Chains A and B, each alone.
Chain A
Amino acid sequence: MKQHPLCTDPDHGPTILDLPISDGLKMEWAALQTRRHFLGKMGKVLGLAAMATLSGDRMLAGSAYATNPTPPPPEFSKLPYFAPKAKRAIYLFMSGGPPQMDLLDYKPKLAQLYNKDIPDSVRGTQQLTGMTAGQARFPIAPSHWAFKQYGKSGAWVSDLLPYTAQMVDDLTIIRSTNTDAINHEPAIMLMNTGNMNAGKPCLGSWLSYGLGSMNDNLPTFMVLLSKTNAKENNQPVSSRLWSSGFLSSEYAGVGLRSAGDPVLYLSDPKGIDRDVRRKMLDAVNEINHQTYQELGDPETNSRISQYEMAYRMQMSVPELTNMSDEPQSTWDLYGPDAKEPGTFAYNCLMARRMAERDVRFVQVYKRGWDVHSNVPGVLPILCQETDRGCHALITDLKQRGLLDDTLVIWAGEFGRTVYSQGGLTKDDYGRDHHPRCFTSWMAGGGVKPGIVFGETDDYSYNIVKDPVPVRNFNATILHCLGIDHNKLTFKSQGLDQKLTGTTPAEVVTGLLAS
């Protein structure tokens, strides 16, 4: 094998023997190195032999590589571990942290406590963010909006969400979601990847790694970013959130752009037809195969499969994104926003089209929920942008018979404080980050519809019943898709890594449909 350009393997680079150190040390190192090498190589040989036995002919058949460059490890035929209720999932991610007490966590007693300080006993010894830690007072800001009860479940919903209110009997509302992080980046990483530090695979990558693709012509895991609105406080979202971490990069999320070509450079340039493209790809693949033979880097295989996927997407993406075949009833349902590419409503419709085409996991990001100030001014805009799309997606999936085996998840990275950040008047208040409780919901395959789970105290500050930490939230999502979160692991950095991390996590059975 020759040296990979990025290789840091001591086999190929300068070695200890080149260093200006004593010969005795060099000898000792050489002795150790030889033994380690021998053991390492033996391990690889045994592993290959075992894999060849387990995977049978596939391993030897060269043609299998052309369509499926990295055959998943043999144990993957075991997935899903049990019959799943949901085959696919759509995650509507509300980046920034929606204020739970203004939307779905109704706190009637707050009205009488307007501008009173929040009791120390409620706040405890919690460390606040730098944005409000210096405040002299922590005045309670009751919600600006009225709440009403809806549906058979009698769930309380704010007047800001008239469409969500109509579908509460299809929702599993979780008022007791909670996180360990108080700032955006660690909190959003924790929600998406199960770890506050970057570098771990996200939920979608685990799902595509574990369950594989249902549609060979589209990526298994797709990401839709919604357009930002300058009036809102938009926190950045980055590709770290849909990264495959230490898993092969073919499991990373594939984003569709909100304007122009949905996928850049996907269409052939002028003068290049599909046959020429095919021939070019065949030649490139051949070279890449040679590189793989020489270097054995699995990322080479990922690259081959991604070229092939892009080639298939040249046909499938235009069909996916061409919404001219949608009937008028679709536009009536999703509203006028849906006509404009990149809006949240448009992305909800796109997510439904992807679900219809068996894309395993779609993650829609909506930014702007970071309402540190002017909640009464900004929150109605955010709700107007998202409420109808959420309702349309659930209703549409339901009427098309897709909600039975699609799990829809709506969540942000944390909640917001009941006390006002900055000045408090009847018509103006702000809310800071709040990790101790926030409200999320799920709907569809595997979860129990029409329930409100968990409870917070009178201040929507601490959870008093059935807390659902992020790891349990994620374990429950995996369960709905037929995965035991303790079994879907990948060895990296000496640890059997998993989405739910090292703290023991549990599936929240109270959320599951029986």
Chain B
Amino acid sequence: MAKFLPTASILTIVILLLVPLVFKLDGKPHADWQQFLGRFHVLAVHLPIALILLVPLLEIGGRFRPGLREAAVLVLSLTVIVCLGTFTLGYLLAYGSGTMGTGVTRHMWGGVCFTIGVLVCFLIRPMWASGRWPFSYPALLAGVLLMMTWTADQGGSITHGNNYLTEYLPAPLKKWPGLRMVQAKSQLVPGSFYAEHIDPIFDANCVACHSEAKIKGGFRLDSYNLLMAGGHDGAVIIPGHPEKSILFSRITLPYEHKKFMPAEGKPPLKPEEIAWIKAWILQGASPAVTSLAGVVIPHGYKETALPQVGDYSGMMAQISQIDAAPGVRLVPVSSKLGDGLILNTVDIAAKFNDAQLAQFEKFAPYVVDVELERTKVTDACFDTLGKFAHLRTLNLSGTAISGQNLAKLVPLSQLTYVNLSGTKVTKAAIAPLLSMQNLHHLYIYNTPAQTASMPPSQQPTTRSLP
């Protein structure tokens, strides 16, 4: 048996290297049975990974308990067998389903190298164990593990998309060089109907199977030129004729139809998306045209982005301590941490004074809204409030302030709303605020600053700056 081992191994390696050259991945689907078996690849592929990870553990453990070493040999030989099986299934999957692309090719060659590596590990382990080739086996094993990681990553990218692992990476880490990011599409004509409305549909629904990493049916639609070039069945878009365009007929088939796209149980395109594609093809399928006759797309409603505050998650314990006691509360504006905190005093307004406000100075950079209506604060409060650099909203209505120190609010560049209704502020006192660029809402109802001659409903209590 031992005699045949080297011969058999060499033969296996040769076959492994020849298979991709003989049965070329040409992007055409082949027999259904191949796909049927091939789909078990995604299941089986986890076996060699688990087994090969066990090998170094057993080898290290074997230094203390020699019995484990023997187990390592067994596991390694099992890995070889399982690798060969998994490779076969994988090749059947790619060949049978007619998948091609750089991602698929890389994953395939990774699989070949990994299998050969495991096989060689198995062959040279006896020499290493007898002390003849020190370090050879551990070094190769380490290399095989690295190879396995890379191959697994390639495989994962085929199934889940290119940026699956990095999509939710914390922003600072994304800047690390070498990390795979989705490239900006430079060839798109900015503002065109294709760029704004058609390409995003393909991006969201189609490119998982039809782009550089994975080319099903020989067809890619990750760029306009490739889209128009079509696939194995020829052009998929005939400008002016949606009914003759393969792309359009495939997305409008009944959902249960074998050739329906998006395939494999993915959700169908929305009716309006289909309507846009139809209108776009009908009117020439141009990459540059900016609007289409008869297509009205409601103006995308965009929330105005709020200025963001820093991360206060480290202070959560203190904040919930404040909230637990009845009275003052620090409430988040929304579920988004960066939207900041509201200082709410309504429950104990009658007892809340300057000294208590000063205790909140440590939260100053994170508070965007300070509600002090009908509290006991005085003009001294502006010393503290001037430190709330991200303050957007300040309500002092019904307090006893006279507005002497209002100028201390002037550096607060994000302040948009100040309510001084029912206070004793005068025209002179509020004058410094009028220079503030972002202060769009200033309320002085029922104050000496309000002109007495006018009826209340016509008071210029709100002003809008350009």
Contact = CB atoms under 8 A, between A and B. Distances in A.
Interface of A: 58, 64, 67, 77-84, 214-217, 327, 329, 332-333, 356-358, 395, 398-401, 404, 482, 509-510, 512, 514
Interface string B332-359: 1111100100001011000000000000
A399 B395 CA distance: 13
A215 B457 CA distance: 28
B312 to A, nearest CB: 14
Interface stretch (B186-194, B284-292, B440-448): B440-448
Given A80-B334, A82-B334, 5 more contacts: A67-B326, A79-B335, A395-B456, A395-B457, A514-B301
A236 B213 CA distance: 66
B443 A401 contact: yes
A83 B462 contact: no
B456 A333 contact: yes
B435 interface: no
A399 B346 contact: no
Contact of A400 (B298, B306, B336, B443): B443
B404 interface: no
Contacts of B384: none
Given A82-B335, A514-B302, A401 B421 contact: yes
Contact of A81 (B298, B324, B334, B445): B334
A81 B456 contact: no
B334 A401 contact: no
Interface in B291-350: 298, 301-304, 306, 324, 326, 332-336, 339, 344, 346-347
B421 A78 contact: no
B461 A83 contact: no
A512 B456 contact: no
A395 B455 CA distance: 12
Contacts of A400: 397, 419, 421-422, 443, 445
Given A399-B421, A401-B395, A80 B335 contact: yes
Nearest to A81: B335
A214 B342 CA distance: 11
A356 B373 contact: yes
Interface of B: 298, 301-304, 306, 324, 326, 332-336, 339, 344, 346-347, 371, 373, 395, 397, 417, 419, 421-422, 441, 443, 445-446, 455-457, 459, 461-462
B344 A214 contact: yes
Contacts of A514: 301-302, 304
B161 to A, nearest CB: 25
A78 B337 CA distance: 10
Lowest 7 A-B CB distances belong to which pairs?
Answer: A401-B443, A509-B301, A401-B419, A78-B335, A399-B445, A83-B334, A83-B339
Contacts of A81: 334-335
Given A81-B335, A82-B336, A216-B326, A398 B462 contact: yes
B456 A82 contact: no
Contacts of B455: 332
Contacts of B459: 399
A332 B454 CA distance: 13
Nearest to B303: A82
Q: Taking each of A67, A81, A333, A356, which has the highest tally of chain B beta carbons within 10 Å of its own beta carbon?
A: A356
A217 B419 CA distance: 23
Contacts, number: 80
Nearest to A63: B324
B406 to A, nearest CB: 16
B333 A401 contact: no
Contacts of A214: 344, 346
Contact of A509 (B298, B326, B334, B441): B298
B346 A401 contact: no
A386 B446 CA distance: 25
A79 B334 CA distance: 6
Given A83-B334, A215-B347, A356-B373, A401 B304 contact: no
A193 B252 CA distance: 38
Nearest to A402: B419
Nearest to A82: B334
Q: Taking each of A78, A329, A399, A509, which has the highest tally of chain B beta carbons within 10 Å of its own beta carbon?
A: A399
Contacts of A80: 333-335
Contacts of B346: 214-215, 357-358
Contacts of B306: 83
Contacts of A512: 301
24 contacts: A78-B335, A79-B335, A80-B333, A80-B334, A82-B334, A82-B336, A82-B339, A83-B333, A83-B334, A83-B336, A214-B346, A215-B346, A215-B347, A216-B326, A329-B456, A395-B456, A399-B459, A400-B397, A400-B419, A401-B419, A404-B417, A482-B334, A510-B298, A514-B301
Nearest to A356: B373
B438 to A, nearest CB: 14
B463 to A, nearest CB: 12
Contacts of A356: 373
A223 to B, nearest CB: 21
B388 to A, nearest CB: 17
Q: Taking each of B334, B455, B457, which has the highest tally of chain A beta carbons within 10 Å of its own beta carbon?
A: B457
Nearest to B299: A509
A471 to B, nearest CB: 18
Contacts of B333: 80, 83-84
Contacts of B422: 400
A107 to B, nearest CB: 26
A505 to B, nearest CB: 16
Contacts of A79: 335
Contact of B461 (A78, A327, A332, A399): A399
Contacts of B347: 215-217
A357 B350 CA distance: 13
Contacts of B419: 400-401
Contact of B456 (A64, A83, A358, A399): A399
B422 to A, nearest CB: 8
Contacts of A329: 446, 456
A401 B417 contact: yes
Contacts of B326: 67, 216
Nearest to B392: A83
A216 B346 CA distance: 9
A215 B345 CA distance: 9
A395 B461 CA distance: 11
A154 B337 CA distance: 42
Contacts of B335: 77-82
A395 B456 CA distance: 9
A461 to B, nearest CB: 25
A380 B456 CA distance: 27
Contacts of A357: 346
Nearest to A213: B347
A398 B373 CA distance: 16
A465 to B, nearest CB: 12
Contacts of B302: 514
A470 to B, nearest CB: 21
Nearest to A509: B301
B360 to A, nearest CB: 18
Contacts of B421: 399-401
Nearest to A511: B301
A401 B344 contact: no
Q: Taking each of B346, B395, B417, B421, which has the highest tally of chain A beta carbons within 10 Å of its own beta carbon?
A: B346
A156 to B, nearest CB: 22
Contacts of A82: 303, 334-336, 339
Q: Taking each of A329, A395, A404, which has the highest tally of chain B beta carbons within 10 Å of its own beta carbon?
A: A404
A399 B304 contact: no
Given A83-B339, A399-B445, A399-B459, A64 B324 contact: yes
Nearest to B342: A87
Contacts of A398: 461-462
A395 B462 CA distance: 12
Nearest to B440: A404
Contacts of A216: 326, 347
A478 to B, nearest CB: 14
Nearest to B422: A400
Given A82-B335, A83-B336, A401 B298 contact: no
